[in-house]
Structure 1
Amino acid sequence: MPLRLEPAPSFKDLFTLNGRTIAGMFLDSGDAGIAEICAGAGLDYLLIDAEHGPVNLAAILAQLRAIASYPVVPVVRVPTNDPVIIKQVLDLGAQSLIVPMVNTAEEARQAVAATRYAPAGVRGVGGVLVRSARWNRVPDYLARANALVSLLVQIESAEAVENAAEIAGTDGIDGVFIGPSDLAATMGLLGQQDHPEVVASVVRTIAAVKRAGKIIGVNAFVEAQARQYIAAGADFVNVGADVALIARGTEALVATYIGERHTSSAAPASY
């Protein structure tokens, strides 16, 4: 007889298993080997980035498989709020999604619908065809699928900050992820994620989402900013990226063993 399989925990389950702020990082290289190395580091989640990384469906699948044997939750940031792409990523077996550039409650509702089977939404039914159901080896998958998905939307514009409470309050949204880089740009402060006005907008958004009773997190590679947002109530913090760690690490090696002749002493202006 075939095995009967149970899905692994999704992102929202992390907050019932831990009594602390959750920490994770971006996977932007698209490389399954790097994903597996990072999976063994002890982080709570790994965020496969199909918005900014060179990541197609095959690369998402390879990284999901590489991570699967480790006690870390994979999350996929899809490139856009598109029901076809969201359906495909879910069918690959991703249970936790972040949808970027959500500015209004209506856009949040569209994201929810894309993750739900009818009549609750518009997700196409694959069943026996797809990895998410383990090719019909997950008992009652179709009846359970809507509840298995963790859906977060990304607030990363001045408009979205103003709509944060309504976005977070949308039925079916499990949480919000704040993107300070794009937020800074929409405020006319490109590359200035640490500007006091940007930080204030992030803190205000954290408070609004918390009042709505939803999970709230933020991208913050600089430790001082991460600590500030944790103190403000952030439930999770995205604290790095594979490509950034490799870039800064190799630069440190050059600075140590070759010297300033080949390196700049200036820190990157933005992360």
Structure 2
Amino acid sequence: MPLQLKPPFGHTLSKVKRPLYGGWVSAGSPVAAEIMAGSGLDLLLIDMEHAPNGLESVLAQLHAASGYPPSVMVRVPAGETVLIKQVLDLGVQNILVPMVSTAEQARQVAAMAQYPPAGVRGVGSALARSGRWNRVKNYANEAADHISVFVQIETEQGLANAADIAAVEGIDGLLLGPSDLAASMGLLGQQTHPDVVAAVKTAFSQIAAAGKPAAVNAFDPAAARDYVEAGAQWVLVGADVVLLARGSEKLAEEFIGPDEPEEA
């Protein structure tokens, strides 16, 4: 009997009537991925850009999360043809490409995720987990139906081009990255600065006008709720490593006490 794949995240977004919430998986650990997968979040985002992840560790995390409900997305380090091909062949159905600032970059990314003649993805589905080694019926011809492609807007140039990027066929949505955006605006470390927040909300409107879902990274609960009210359809609200760091610090403070400066 042919195997069935999960619907891609873009399909899920089009069907739900509430905002969706996700978390980063940045530890490079299948155990952390499985813990996050069982949390009740809607989405896990495995990071290859700022986390110690390669193809083998991503595959192990896909296995760990495969028995749980959340969609799984992978952020690749860059929009590169070979890398996107390899990640898709692992069976990743949802990819996020960072630092996309123009419509032309977005068109190139969309092409990288599709087989010819629509795109430039190398054909190797018989050898790959993506089509479960030819156990997913007609995968090669219907691969685009199993994949969602998202791009990340993180620069002032990207903001200026948000509407054009959102209009690119084959791009399923845009994620705003306030941290890098703040740096691009000369406000490094100030991702909740009013100017940054206003810029993100303006982009939401432009993305929605193009008929695409807008998303944002917001670990501060108040900021996340504010962005949802402004139109964000999905929000990344935490990360495994951040939860571990803050939780362990809270334990240390509770049982050991706050750090005290040494006397001279």
TM-score (norm 2): 0.97
Tell me what 1:53 maps to. 51
Contact 1:152–1:176, Cα closer than 8 Å, also in 2: yes
Letter aligned with residue 25 of structure 1: G
List structure 1 segments (4+ residues) > 4 angstroms apart after TM superposition.
none
Tell me what 2:177 maps to. 179
Matches within 5 A, 1:110-121: 110-121=108-119
Matches within 5 A, 1:37-48: 37-48=35-46
Distance in 2 (CA, whole Å) between partners of 1:199 and 1:18 is: 25
Helix, strand or coil at the partner of 2:192: coil
Helix, strand or coil at the partner of 1:133: coil
Helix, strand or coil at the partner of 1:59: helix
Matches within 5 A, 1:1-271: 3-261=1-259
Distance in 1 (CA, whole Å) between partners of 2:7 and 2:255 is: 44
**Structure 1, residues 84-141: CA drift from partner, whole Å, max 9, x if none?**
0000000000010000000000000000000000000000001210000100000000
Tell me by how many angstroms 1:15 deviates.
1.7
Distance in 2 (CA, whole Å) between partners of 1:262 and 1:150 is: 50
Letter aligned with residue 195 of structure 1: H
- State the percentage of identical aligned residues: 52
Distance in 2 (CA, whole Å) between partners of 1:209 and 1:261 is: 46
Letter aligned with residue 11 of structure 1: F
Tell me by how many angstroms 1:147 deviates.
1.8
Letter aligned with residue 125 of structure 2: G
Tell me by how many angstroms 1:261 deviates.
2.6
Helix, strand or coil at the partner of 1:97: strand
Letter aligned with residue 223 of structure 1: P
- Comparing 216-225 with 11-20, greater Cα deviation is found at 11-20
Letter aligned with residue 9 of structure 1: P
Helix, strand or coil at the partner of 1:132: coil
Tell me by how many angstroms 1:262 deviates.
6.3
Letter aligned with residue 49 of structure 1: D
Letter aligned with residue 88 of structure 1: Q
**Structure 1, residues 31-83: CA drift from partner, whole Å, max 9, x if none?**
00110011001100100000111000001100111110001110000000101
Helix, strand or coil at the partner of 2:130: helix
Tell me by how many angstroms 1:17 deviates.
3.9
Distance in 2 (CA, whole Å) between partners of 1:5 and 1:24 is: 26
Letter aligned with residue 45 of structure 1: L
Distance in 2 (CA, whole Å) between partners of 1:188 and 1:231 is: 26
Tell me by how many angstroms 1:19 deviates.
1.1
Distance in 2 (CA, whole Å) between partners of 1:182 and 1:53 is: 16
Tell me by how many angstroms 1:18 deviates.
2.1
Helix, strand or coil at the partner of 1:118: coil
Letter aligned with residue 94 of structure 1: V
Helix, strand or coil at the partner of 2:36: helix
TM-score (norm 1): 0.95
Tell me by how many angstroms 1:16 deviates.
3.6
Please report the RMSD computed on the Cα atoms of aligned residues, expressed in angstroms: 1.0
Distance in 2 (CA, whole Å) between partners of 1:127 and 1:156 is: 33
Letter aligned with residue 130 of structure 1: A
